[in-house]
Amino acid sequence: MVTFGSYINRDSNESNGCTPAGTSSVTGNNLYTGVKTPGACSNKILLSVSSDRGATFTGTTTDPRQLPVVTTASGQANTDQWFQWAAFTPKGTLAVSYYDRQYGSDETTGDMDVSLSTSSDLARFKVSRATSTSMPLPTQFPDTQGNGVFIGDYTGLTAVSGAHPLWADTRNPDAFLCPGTAAPGVPPALCTAAEPNGLLANDQQIYTRGLPAS
């Protein structure tokens, strides 16, 4: 069993955008027309299963529009989910954690959350929210506009005793030495700072949370 992300899936609306357009000659990544068209294109986490010890997988021959998705909550149909991690519990329940934009205004603001999907039959999934509030866009390694171009690939999941997703969390502001402090006669003080695009500079820290998974 493997999970993988795809813009083309059972919820994609290619008549309204999200049309495959080959691959990038620079990165090799898949290209799509209309990715930002509302209600047209959103990344989903698909499930591909083998019943012959990995010799073949359903995802090899099945149209991705027909493959099951682990992201089945109603709010996930037209929003993005990505950077997944999968594990099985000792009783055989599949658990998949991932970044998720189904909550609040995440899909339009770029904020993000973390969710967990669990299933005992690889067909019906229960979706639980791991984050208590949405996380802002990352600001580390900013480009000239102040947009962060990196979010740590620090995602993971263990499901030995319940499910414990792990992610890079951006909710804590970055700390800087305040100007004019840490000088003779002036003790050091910490300040926050804004990026050129106005976002409050944030840090990336490892968070985890325990969630039910039998």
pLDDT in tens, 1-60: 999 999 899 998 888 888 888 998 988 888 888 887 887 889 999 999 999 999 999 999
In the predicted structure, residue 104 carries a pLDDT above the cut 80: yes
Give the bridge partners for 82, in sequence order: 99
| Best CA proximity match to 64, nearest among 52, 46, 80, 76 | 46
Which of 39, 35, 59 shows the shortest CA–CA distance to 49? 59
Let me know whether 138 and 182 are in one domain: yes
Is 30 part of a structural domain of the chain?
yes
The reported pLDDT for the residue numbered 149 is 79
Beta-bridged to residue 81, according to DSSP, are 100
DSSP string, 51-86: SSTTS--HHHHS-TTTS-BS--SGGGTTS-EEEEEE
**Residue 122 domain flag:** yes
- Domain that residue 150 falls in: 82-214
Residue 77 included in any domain: no
Q: What is the pLDDT at residue 181?
A: 97
Residue 3: name the closest of 57, 63, 46 by CA: 46
The pLDDT score that the predictor gives to residue 199 is 87
One domain, residues 93 and 189: yes
The whole-model pTM stands at 0.91
Average the pLDDT over 119-130 and give the result: 96
Residue 168 lies inside a defined structural domain of this protein: yes
SS3 135: strand
CB 40 within 8 A of CB 34: yes
Domain tally for the chain?
2
Q: What percent of the chain has pLDDT over 90?
A: 72
With respect to residue 75, please indicate whether it lies within any of the assigned structural domains.
no
Question: For residues 86 and 156, what is the distance between their CA atoms, to the nearest angstrom?
Answer: 8
Average pLDDT of the chain is 92
Q: What is the DSSP letter of 169?
A: E
CA distances 94 to 47, 118, 191, 196, 211, Å, are: 11, 5, 44, 42, 13
